[in-house]
Chain A
Amino acid sequence: MEANPAALPPSAASTRAGIRLPGLGVGIGRGYVVMYLSLMVLIPLAALVDESLTSGLGNFWDQVTSPQAVRSLELTMICSLIVVAINAVFGTIIAWILVRDEFPGKAAVNAIIDLPFALPTIVASLTLLALYGNESPFGIDIAFTRAAVVVALLFVTLPFVVRAVQPLLIEMDREMEEAAASLGASGFTVFRRIIFPNLIPGLAAGVALAFARALGEFGSVLIFAGGLPDTQVSSVFIRAQVESGNEPGASAVSMVLLLASLLCLATISLTQRWASRHERSTGGTLVMPMAGEMPADGEREEGDDERA
């Protein structure tokens, strides 16, 4: 247990030999991968970019700045910010009790965290409406309001922060905490000065992913919040435009969402590079159980612990 995982050299050997496609195979394999990605992802997105700019930048700008489009983008942005702020706090608390607390049923709680990843969004929307609509058993009726947008987004983005922070808490070296506590630091001071700074890389990645997900969310908002002028998030707006045949409008707003997604991904990538440069753990592969992470040169630290 005394081994410091960060001090171990990266398993560089894993890239040196082992299973390799034979000479010609590499070329074929790369060709296949590039073709597949182009056909499935890049060409469709290129068609979207093309359509949004087809009648000129001026028209693109007009579409993006139309009152309805602006309204939906503002609503989406504000709700997503509120949602990630709430998730950052509660996600950290949940990760904390899952790692540092002991209570009966902890394993089940840990398992249910991933429910929003597994449950279809439209089902989530339906059940949230039953729960917090006009037939609410709790007497809470927020259906078709902006609060409904926030609750729906909270549901779908819940796992991101928890799953990003959890591995960092598991790996965290507790000696610093003990030292601080023995020097008389209060619990809150220890959290603020020692624990929190170590959680920042995971928290940032989790928040960025949750934000990206919230910006584009569609299914869970649809039934619960509806597409009223007041509750029309961007993705619902886009579908309405497609249905009414306004493809330039739909693709212009889509372009804004696409750019926002790219920004989120760039943020995650930068955070991780920063973290690895400062030898801060990003929690290995668990940072984003569902999502993108540069295949870091580093290794899974849990594995190293066992080897040490």
Chain B
Amino acid sequence: MSAHSAAARGIGSGRGSRWTLRALGLGFLALLLVAPLVMIFYKSFEDGLMPPLEAITSENGLNALKLSLLMVAIAVPLNTVFGVVCAILLVRHKWKGNALIDAVINLPFALSPVVIGLALYLLYSTNGGWFGPALAEVGIEVLFSVPGMVLASIFVSLPFVVRETVPVLQEIGTEQEQAASTLGANTWQTFWRVTLPAIRWGVAYGVVLTTARVLGEFGAVTIVSGSISGQTETLPLFVSKQFEAFNEPGAYGASIVLALLALSTLLAMNLLKRKEDA
């Protein structure tokens, strides 16, 4: 440690430059992150607790909340199961297709949500989409209804569990799993009793990120949903709609719910990181 402090004196060094860097970095964060966060709370509760509470307990507000939770309830489990299976295949089973799978998994991170929404829109459009007309014939509406919004949520949040599970799987190695199978455990038992407990914090971290992304998704969902009040309106869409209707308390009422969920996410991320490192 003494060597480290010597180096610290060597570089970044003089008291002046240390304070300059600190002021620049923290000042940037204060203006860009802290001030907006404080502002959400200030604006939401400017006129007391009631206006945001009324907005979120209005019929459309509650429907938006329910629909957001429904998105989470469907998209998160699907992406979690996929993520764990995919991670095991990528890490433990060499295959020439793995590089391609890996590349495709990264796509949703780099793609604009609006492009994702448009792709789904074109595919499921009843007017000339590849799947739309056939599905319409059997009575399944994808666009402007819940299935399309679920598909958009799955697309945008697909990589998180895979990305968080892969490194953990690599790190835990295989000794314990080998021991388990030597002792007569079958693959299924080994997975439930040895592998899953070892990777659980990594998976949990991925699940937290997936949930946050699904709750906050706006761009992709806005294209496929049509944003019909009370029917295809998630919380972020509700925020946007209320803002457009000049109903600020309404917009902030839903925003404060989303901001509190975001803060819980941050808290969960930090707790899980600590568990993972422990």
Contact = CB atoms under 8 A, between A and B. Distances in A.
Nearest to B129: A47
Q: How large is the interface on B (under 10, 10 to 19, 20 to 34, 35 or more residues)?
A: 35 or more
Contacts of A195: 11
A212 to B, nearest CB: 4
Interface in A84-119: 90, 93-94, 96-97, 100-101, 103, 109, 111-119
A300 B160 contact: no
Contact of A19 (B24, B170, B194): B194
A299 interface: yes
Contacts of A100: 8, 12
Interface stretch (A24-32, A63-71, A274-282): A24-32
Contacts of B3: 174-175, 178
B119 A154 contact: no
A308 interface: no
B122 A47 contact: yes
Interface residues of A, number: 113
A127 B33 contact: no
B114 A235 contact: yes
B190 A254 contact: no
B273 to A, nearest CB: 9
B103 interface: yes
A7 interface: no
A151 B34 CA distance: 14
B115 A48 contact: yes
A262 B126 CA distance: 29
B93 A239 contact: no
Interface string B255-266: 100110011011
A126 B7 CA distance: 44
B104 interface: yes
A120 B215 contact: yes
A3 interface: no
B207 interface: no
Contact of A112 (B22, B29, B209, B219): B29
Contacts of B187: 19-22, 25
B149 interface: no
Nearest to B167: A285
B129 to A, nearest CB: 7
B71 interface: no
B115 A235 contact: yes
Contact of B155 (A41, A126, A239): A41
A203 to B, nearest CB: 16
A90 B25 contact: yes
B33 A158 contact: yes
A286 B18 CA distance: 26
A154 B35 CA distance: 14
B12 A119 contact: no
Binding site secondary structure of chain A? helix
B10 interface: yes
A264 B240 contact: no
Contact of B11 (A155, A190, A261, A285): A190
Contact of B191 (A11, A19, A234): A19
Contacts of B174: 13-14, 16-19
A154 to B, nearest CB: 6
B195 interface: yes
Contact of B123 (A43, A126, A218, A257): A43
B115 A17 contact: no
Q: Which has the most chain B C-beta neighbours within 10 Å: A32, A120, A292? A: A120
A80 to B, nearest CB: 11
Interface in B3-35: 3-4, 6-8, 10-14, 17-18, 21-22, 24-26, 28-29, 32-35
Interface string A121-136: 1111011101100000
A191 B167 CA distance: 31
B121 interface: yes
Contacts of B35: 131
Given A29-B88, A118-B262, A265-B107, 19 more contacts: A14-B173, A19-B190, A19-B191, A103-B22, A120-B239, A181-B10, A191-B12, A212-B110, A216-B110, A216-B115, A217-B112, A218-B112, A219-B219, A239-B222, A239-B223, A261-B110, A265-B110, A295-B91, A295-B170
9 contacts: A93-B28, A101-B18, A119-B37, A120-B258, A121-B216, A123-B255, A126-B243, A216-B114, A218-B219
